[in-house]
DNA sequence: GAATCGAAAATTATCTATAATTTGGAGGAA
DNA sequence: TTCCTCCAAATTATAGATAATTTTCGATTC
């Protein structure tokens, strides 16, 4: 296509960082959802791009060129534009009128903000879920914690962590609240992939067990306060950048 | 246009309930934002439809037909579809693949859910805003309360109420949190317009004054707890339906 | 008269093509 | 070198066409 002849190669190379198969295969972050068989093309593209943004395969600030995305997914620009609107609503992309769409940047302030929002909303969800928590549900949460222990890489650890939170919160039966929490988890996962340190697992898994222990004893207030502290703990470490310089990177570890 | 000849008239008649000028003119609910001069057409359509959905001009469950909307706004279906995605993300519309887009329905459970989310998030925002609140800001909040007293109809009262909340929360400087609160306010306003009772103003305005009084004395905890209760108070009243039967309608009044 | 089936119409979802606008950069002039 | 002009690329947006699906409505049957 002539359109692509003179474009900068940045976006293409970042797309190439993940195999095309992520379109068809179930990506790690989305493995909890049904494989979008009857989704619209727009939804499938949005999910695939979301996975790349969250995993860091596309860098913050990188432009998302609709024609390139359309060509890669074998679609036209119309569903691509719809996918962009969806990513924008999730806070994963920002668009300026007539200046295109970019992957959302993030800084320490946003990490803190997401952590506090998660604390507030997850505590709310937990308080409503608590009366409906059964031993079977708590066992599934414990299994997710074990899966976190066994995980060898960030992605599987992140998935286990997310499963833990989802399992204990879903019984609240508040769909809007759960959707908001999901979006915040997606943001958290972005931060996590950007600044990972393996020893953080230990602390997090300890918190998970303390939460489960409190819930098993019916101590909802204690569980809620551990959850709030757990989600607001911010990890911080230096990360080497492309230029060779280092900068601080931050993440929510829980 | 032939397309419209055989369609059901429900959607058209509800659209007709508000003048076309709402597209260009600044509607009540959006009067706080800049009139979208440099917005994209998709954003303008989304704002106009949001205003109609919130005000009740389009009923819950009503179908949003993209070709009809496109024709009314003098646009093509592409920006209309983008507007639909935006409304979907705000929780004002729901779309099923290949079955079109409908105005989101709501019930008591969702009213409660939104109220609790607002309580959690507005309390969070208030705690962060409190250190930055100046007498000038509190005076503006008090002026908004007066405007609520003076208002003669639901729309202006709603706008005054929303201004009050916005003025005392914006200084928190957390854009993602404020955007989430805005969406919840939009949902609240829908409920309010659906079930309005004038005497509710009194209670709400009393709460507003109590919050301001606490803030002026630096009693942030007290202000936060009044705010939480204030936002979670659910109004309830019977409403006569088209069929002549009555049903209970609920709203967040604050 | 009610229920069911099927065909026609409407609608969604998509693609292709194209106009208009804007950005960004290359190349020339002061 | 710096600034300006102009061109190419990218994006926004429209129009028209098509496939697939859903809805509607009428005919047939019980």
- Of A55, A51, A58, A61, give the one whose Cα is nearest residue A105: A61
Positive or negative, the CA dihedral B231, B233, B238, B243 is positive
The closest alpha carbon to A250, from A126, A117, A110, belongs to A110
A113 and B78: CB-CB below 8 Å? no
Dist CA B58 CA B92 (whole Å)? 11
Q: With a 7 Å cutoff on the CB, does B79 touch strand D?
A: yes
DSSP-assigned beta bridge partners for residue A246:
A240
Rounded Cα–Cα distance for residues A201 and A218 (Å):
26
Q: Which residue has the higher pLDDT, A199 or B26?
A: A199
pLDDT-derived band at A96 (thresholds 50, 70, 90) equals: confident
Instruction: Specify the pTM.
Output: 0.83
Give per-residue pLDDT as tens, A46-63.
999 999 999 989 988 888
User: Exposed, middle or buried, A36 (CB in 10 Å: 0-12/13-18/19+)?
Assistant: middle
Q: What are the helix (H) ranges across chain A?
A: 10-16, 41-55, 66-72, 77-90, 108-129, 135-150, 154-169, 175-194, 200-216, 220-232
Tell me the per-residue pLDDT of A112-164, one tens digit each, with 9 for 90 and over: 999 999 999 999 999 999 999 999 999 999 999 999 988 888 899 999 999 99
State the Cα–Cα distance between residues B222 and B208, nearest whole angstrom: 12
pLDDT of residue B199: 65
Q: How would you label B220-244 residue by residue, b for 16+ Cβ within 10 Å and e otherwise?
A: beebbebbbebbebbbeeeeeeeee
Residues 6+ apart with CB under 8 A from A99: none
For an interface test with A, give the residue of B119, B176, B188, B231 to mutate (most A CBs within 10 A). B176
Q: Which of A113, A115, A122, A129 is nearest to A173 (CA)?
A: A129
Choose among B84, B78, B83: nearest CA to B99.
Answer: B84
Structure-model confidence comparison of residues B242 and A238, the more confident one: A238
B117 in reach of chain A (CB within 8 A): yes
Q: Which range scores top for mean pLDDT: A40-44, A152-156, A165-169?
A: A165-169
- Comparing CA positions, the residue from B180, B89, B113, B234 lying closest to residue A174 is B113
pLDDT tens digits, one per residue of A59-84: 888 889 888 889 888 898 889 999 99
CA torsion A92-A98-A99-A102 (nearest 10°) is 10
Q: What is the pLDDT of residue B243?
A: 59
Cross-chain CB nearest to A82 (options B85, B110, B116): B85
Q: Which residues of chain B have pLDDT under 50?
A: 1-35
pLDDT at A53: 93
A120–B116 CB contact, under 8 Å: no
DSSP secondary structure letters along B48-109: HHHHHHHHTSS-TT-EE-HHHHHHHTT--HHHHHHHHHHHHHHTSEEEETTTEEEEPP--HH
* Structural contact between residues A250 and A111, judged by C-beta atoms closer than 8 angstroms: yes
- What pLDDT, on the 0 to 100 scale, is given for residue A16? 30
Average pLDDT over residues A70-99: 90
- How many beta-carbon pairs under 8 angstroms link A with B? 73
Residue with tokens 């099923």: B96
Nucleotide nearest to A66 (CA to C1'): D11
Determine the distance between A188 (CA) and C16 (C1') in angstroms. Answer: 40
**Chain A residues within 8 A of B82 when measuring between CB atoms:** 81-82, 85
For residue B74, say whether its CB is under 7 Å from any atom of strand D.
yes
Question: For position A18, what pLDDT does the model report?
Answer: 29
Q: Which residues contact residue B238 at a Cβ distance below 8 angstroms, ignoring those fewer than 6 apart?
A: B246, B247, B248, B249
Average pLDDT, rounded, for chain A: 82
Is the pLDDT at A36 greater than 60, yes or no?
A: no
Q: Distance between CA atoms of A43 and B104, rounded to whole angstroms?
A: 19
CB-side neighbour CA atoms (13 Å) of B79: 20
Q: Cα separations (Å) of A5 from A8, A10, A17, A58, A233? A: 9, 13, 20, 21, 47
Chain C positions with a protein C-beta closer than 7 Å: 9-17, 21-24
> How many angstroms separate the CA of A76 from the C1' of C16?
9
- Asked if the Cβ of residue A67 lies within 7 A of any atom of strand D, the reply is yes
Handedness of CA A78, A80, A86, A92 (dihedral sign): negative
User: Which pLDDT value is given to residue A250?
Assistant: 82
Residues, chain B: 254
**Taking CB atoms and an 8 Å limit, are B120 and A116 in contact across chains?**
no
CA of B63, C1' of D28: distance in angstroms: 32
Q: Which of A192, A127, A126 is nearest to A159 (CA)?
A: A192
């Amino acid at each position: 296509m002539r359109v692509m002849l003179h474009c900068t190669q940045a976006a293409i190379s970042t797309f190439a960082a993940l195999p095309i198969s992520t379109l068809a295969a179930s990506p790690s972050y989305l493995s909890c959802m049904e494989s979008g068989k009857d989704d619209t093309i727009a939804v499938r593209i949005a999910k695939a791009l979301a996975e790349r943004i969250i995993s860091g395969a596309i860098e913050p600030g990188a432009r998302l060129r609709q024609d390139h995305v359309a060509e890669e997914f074998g679609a036209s620009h119309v569903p691509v534009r719809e996918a962009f609107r969806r990513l924008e609503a999730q806070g994963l992309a920002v668009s300026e009128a007539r200046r295109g769409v970019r992957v959302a940047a993030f800084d320490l302030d946003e990490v803190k903000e997401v952590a506090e929002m998660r604390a507030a909303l997850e505590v709310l969800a937990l308080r409503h879920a608590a009366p409906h928590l059964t031993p079977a549900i708590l066992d599934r949460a414990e299994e997710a914690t074990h899966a976190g222990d066994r995980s060898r890489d960030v992605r599987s650890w992140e998935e286990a962590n997310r499963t833990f939170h989802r399992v204990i919160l879903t019984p609240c039966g508040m769909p809007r609240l759960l959707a908001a929490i999901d979006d915040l988890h997606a943001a958290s996962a972005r931060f996590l992939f950007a600044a990972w340190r393996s020893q953080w697992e230990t602390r997090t898994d300890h918190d998970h067990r303390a939460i489960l222990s409190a819930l098993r004893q019916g101590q909802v207030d204690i569980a809620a306060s551990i959850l709030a502290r757990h989600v607001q703990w911010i990890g911080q470490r230096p990360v080497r950048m492309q230029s060779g310089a280092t900068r601080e990177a931050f993440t929510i570890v829980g």
